[in-house]
Amino acid sequence: MKVFDLAQPMRRGMPQSPNHPAYQHSLVRRHGDMVRAGGGSAANDILVLGTHVGTHVDALAHVSQDGLLHGGVVAADVQSDAGFARLGIDEFPPFAGRGVFLDVAALHGVEVLPPGYEVTAADLEAAAGDLVINAGDAILVGTGWSRRFGEGASFLGTAEGVPGPGEGAAQWIAARGAAVTGAETIAYERIAPGAGHASLPVHRILLVEAGINIVETMMLAGLADAGVREFQFILAPLKLVGATGSPVRPLAVVP
Amino acid sequence: MKVFDLAQPMRRGMPQSPNHPAYQHSLVRRHGDMVRAGGGSAANDILVLGTHVGTHVDALAHVSQDGLLHGGVVAADVQSDAGFARLGIDEFPPFAGRGVFLDVAALHGVEVLPPGYEVTAADLEAAAGDLVINAGDAILVGTGWSRRFGEGASFLGTAEGVPGPGEGAAQWIAARGAAVTGAETIAYERIAPGAGHASLPVHRILLVEAGINIVETMMLAGLADAGVREFQFILAPLKLVGATGSPVRPLAVVP
Amino acid sequence: MKVFDLAQPMRRGMPQSPNHPAYQHSLVRRHGDMVRAGGGSAANDILVLGTHVGTHVDALAHVSQDGLLHGGVVAADVQSDAGFARLGIDEFPPFAGRGVFLDVAALHGVEVLPPGYEVTAADLEAAAGDLVINAGDAILVGTGWSRRFGEGASFLGTAEGVPGPGEGAAQWIAARGAAVTGAETIAYERIAPGAGHASLPVHRILLVEAGINIVETMMLAGLADAGVREFQFILAPLKLVGATGSPVRPLAVVP
Amino acid sequence: MKVFDLAQPMRRGMPQSPNHPAYQHSLVRRHGDMVRAGGGSAANDILVLGTHVGTHVDALAHVSQDGLLHGGVVAADVQSDAGFARLGIDEFPPFAGRGVFLDVAALHGVEVLPPGYEVTAADLEAAAGDLVINAGDAILVGTGWSRRFGEGASFLGTAEGVPGPGEGAAQWIAARGAAVTGAETIAYERIAPGAGHASLPVHRILLVEAGINIVETMMLAGLADAGVREFQFILAPLKLVGATGSPVRPLAVVP
- Tell me the per-residue pLDDT of C110-155, one tens digit each, with 9 for 90 and over: 999 999 999 999 999 999 999 999 999 999 999 999 999 999 888 9
Q: C24 CA to chain A: closest CA distance, Å?
A: 9
Tell me, letter by letter, the H, E, C secondary structure of chain D: CEEEECECCECCCCCCCCCCCCCEEEEEECCCCCCCCCCEEECEEEEEEECCCCCEEECHHHEEECCECHHHCEHHHHEECCEECCCCHHHCCCEEEEEEEEEHHHHCCCCCCCCCCEECHHHHHHHHCCCCCCCCCEEEEECCHHHHHHHCHHHHCCCCCECEECHHHHHHHHHCCCCEEECCCCCCCCECCCCCCCCCHHHHHHHHHHCCEEEECECCHHHHHHCCCEEEEEECCCCECCCCEEECCCEEEEC
Cβ of B69 within 8 Å of Cβ of A30? The answer is no
How far is the alpha carbon of D125 from chain A, nearest alpha carbon, in Å? 42
Instruction: Report pLDDT digits (tens) over C178-203.
Output: 999 999 999 999 999 877 767 799 99
- Yes or no, beta carbons of D26 and B48 under 8 Å apart: no
Q: Residues near A185 by Cβ (< 8 Å), separated by ≥ 6?
A: A143, A145, A157, A162, A163, A164, A191, A216, A217
| pLDDT at residue B193, rounded to an integer | 87
Whether this model's ipTM surpasses 0.85 comes out as yes
Give mean pLDDT, residues D208-213. Answer: 98
Percent of chain B with pLDDT over 70: 99
Range of the domain at D118: 2-8+51-254
Split at pLDDT 50, 70, 90, the class of A194 is: confident
Give residue B69's pLDDT.
98
Out of A187-201, B187-201, C102-116, C151-165, give the one with best mean pLDDT.
C102-116
Q: Which residue of A has its CA nearest to D84?
A: A33
Contacts of B26 in chain D (CB under 8 A): 26-28, 46
The H or E element containing residue A201 is helix A201-203
- Confidence category of residue C99, pLDDT binned at 50, 70, 90: very high
pLDDT interval class at D184 (50, 70, 90): very high
- The H-or-E segment that residue A125 falls in is helix A121-128
Specify the length of chain B in residues: 255
Q: Which residues of A12-40 are buried (b: 16+ CB within 10 A; e: fewer)?
A: bebbbbeebbbbbbbbbbbbbbeeeeeeb
Q: What total of structural domains would you count in chain D?
A: 1
- CA B57 – CA B37 distance, rounded (Å): 44
Chain mean position to CA B106: 20
Residue in B closest to A64 by C-alpha: B41
State pLDDT tens for residues A157-177.
988 999 999 999 999 999 999
pLDDT at D90: 98
Residue D188's pLDDT band, with cuts at 50, 70 and 90, is very high
> Which chains touch C (3+ CB pairs under 8 A)?
A, B, D
Whole-number average pLDDT of chain B: 96
| Residue B21 maps to a domain | no
pLDDT per position as a tens digit, A115-129:
999 999 999 999 999
Query: Which chain D residue has its CA at the smallest distance from B19's CA?
Result: D81
Per residue in B18-69, pLDDT (tens digit) is 999 999 999 999 999 999 989 999 999 999 999 999 999 999 999 999 999 9
How distant is the alpha carbon of residue C230 from its chain centre?
A: 18
Contact D51 C42 (CB under 8 A): no
D58: closest CA among D36, D39, D35, D84? D84
CB < 8 Å to B251, chain A: 94, 96, 234, 236
Residue C222: inside a domain, yes or no? yes
**A chain contacts of residue D22, beta-carbon cutoff 8 Å:** 21-22, 24
CA angle, corner B186, sides to A59 and C149, nearest 5?
Answer: 95
**How far does the CA of residue D227 sit from the closest CA of chain B (Å)?**
41
Q: Are C48 and B24 in contact (CB < 8 Å)?
A: yes
> How far is B242 from B69, CA to CA, in rounded Å?
14
Q: Residue B234's closest chain A neighbor by CA?
A: A234
Asked whether residue B198 carries a pLDDT value surpassing 90, the answer given is no
Inter-CA distances, C185 with C3, C9, D133, Å: 22, 14, 42
The proportion of chain A whose per-residue pLDDT surpasses 90, expressed as a percent, equals 93
pLDDT band at D159 (very low <50, low <70, confident <90, very high): confident
In this structure, the number of other CB atoms found within 10 A of the CB of residue C126 comes to 13
DSSP characters for B168-227? HHHHHHHHTT-SEEE-SSSSSS-B-TTTTTS--HHHIIIIIII--EEEESB--HHHHHHT
DSSP state of C104: H
Q: Which of B11, C47, C208 is nearest to A80 (CA)?
A: B11
CATH number for the domain that contains residue A200: 3.50.30.50
Residue B131 forms part of a structural domain? yes
User: Which chain A residues touch D48 with a CB distance below 8 Å?
Assistant: 21, 24, 48
Kindly list the partner chains of chain A, i.e. chains with 3 or more CB atom pairs below 8 Å. Answer: B, C, D
3-state secondary structure of C199: coil
Sign of CA dihedral C28, C33, C37, C38: positive
The one-letter amino acid code at D12 reads R
- Region D158-173: mean pLDDT is 96
Residues C216-238: tens digit of each pLDDT: 999 999 999 999 999 999 999 99
* Residue B41 within any structural domain of the chain: no
pLDDT the model gives residue A193: 87
Kindly state the average pLDDT of the residues D218-235. Answer: 98
Q: Which residue of A has its CA nearest to D13?
A: A18
- Angle D121-128/D167-175 helices, nearest 10 degrees? 50
User: pLDDT for A48-71, tens place per residue?
Assistant: 999 999 999 999 999 999 999 999
Burial class (CB in 10 A: 0-12, 13-18, 19+), A218: buried
Is the torsion defined by CA of C155, C161, C167, C172 positive or negative? Answer: negative
DSSP state of A114: P
pTM over 0.95: yes
CA gap A7, A53 in Å, rounded: 11
Choose the closest CB to D239 out of C36, C94, C249.
C249
Q: Would you say residue A140 lies in a domain?
A: yes
- Among the partner-chain residues B19, B27, B40, the one whose CB lies closest to the CB of A200 is B40
CA distance B19 to chain D (A): 12
User: Which residues does chain B have within 8 Å of residue C13's beta carbon, measured at their own beta carbons?
Assistant: 18
- Kindly indicate the confidence band of residue B202, based on its pLDDT and cuts at 50, 70 and 90: very high
> Using CB atoms, which residue from C40, C52, C97 is nearest to D200?
C40
Amino acid letter for position D54:
G
B242: left (phi over 0), alpha (psi -120 to 50) or beta: left
Q: Cβ of B75 and A46 within 8 Å?
A: no
Confidence of residue D195 (pLDDT cuts 50, 70, 90): confident
Quickly state the pLDDT bin for B194 (edges 50, 70, 90). confident
Contact A11 B82 (CB under 8 A): yes
Q: With 90 as the cut, is the pLDDT of residue A199 above it?
A: no
Residue B159, pLDDT score: 87
Measure B23 CA to nearest chain D CA, in Å: 12
How many Å apart are CA C123 and CA C141, to the nearest integer? 10
CA distances from residue D107 to A244, D125, D141, D142 in whole angstroms, order as listed: 54, 10, 11, 10
Distances (CA, A) of C149 to A45, C106, C144, C221, C252: 27, 18, 10, 11, 20
Taking the C-alpha atoms of residue C184 and residue D135, their distance in angstroms, rounded to an integer, is: 36
- The residue that leads in pLDDT, D105 or D154, is D105
C57 near C248, Cβ under 8 Å?
Answer: yes
**Tens of pLDDT, residues C7-25:** 999 999 999 999 999 999 9
Report pLDDT for D199: 79
The reply to whether residue A24 touches residue D81, judged by beta carbons under 8 angstroms, is no
Cβ of D41 within 8 Å of Cβ of C20? The answer is no
pLDDT of residue C158: 85
**Helix pair C167-175, C121-128: axis angle to 10 deg:** 50
pLDDT of residue A229: 98
Residues D85-107 have a mean pLDDT of 98
Q: Do A63 and B75 touch (CB under 8 A)?
A: no
Average pLDDT over all residues of chain A: 96
Q: What's the average model confidence in pLDDT over D124-142? A: 98
Q: Which of B16, B25, B48 to mutate to test the interface with C (most CBs of C within 10 A)?
A: B48
Least confident of B87-91, B190-194, C27-31: B190-194
Chain D: closest CA distance from residue A4 (Å): 32
Check B239 against A5: CB less than 8 A apart. yes
Cα dihedral A164, A169, A175, A176, rounded to 10, equals: -60
**What SS3 state is found at C133?**
coil
Q: Is residue A13 part of a domain?
A: no
| Residues D26-59 pLDDT 10s | 999 999 999 998 999 999 999 999 999 999 999 9
**Is the model's pLDDT at A130 over the cut of 80?**
yes
Q: Is the pLDDT of residue A239 over 90?
A: yes
Domain membership flag for residue C198: yes
More confident position, B55 or D194 = B55
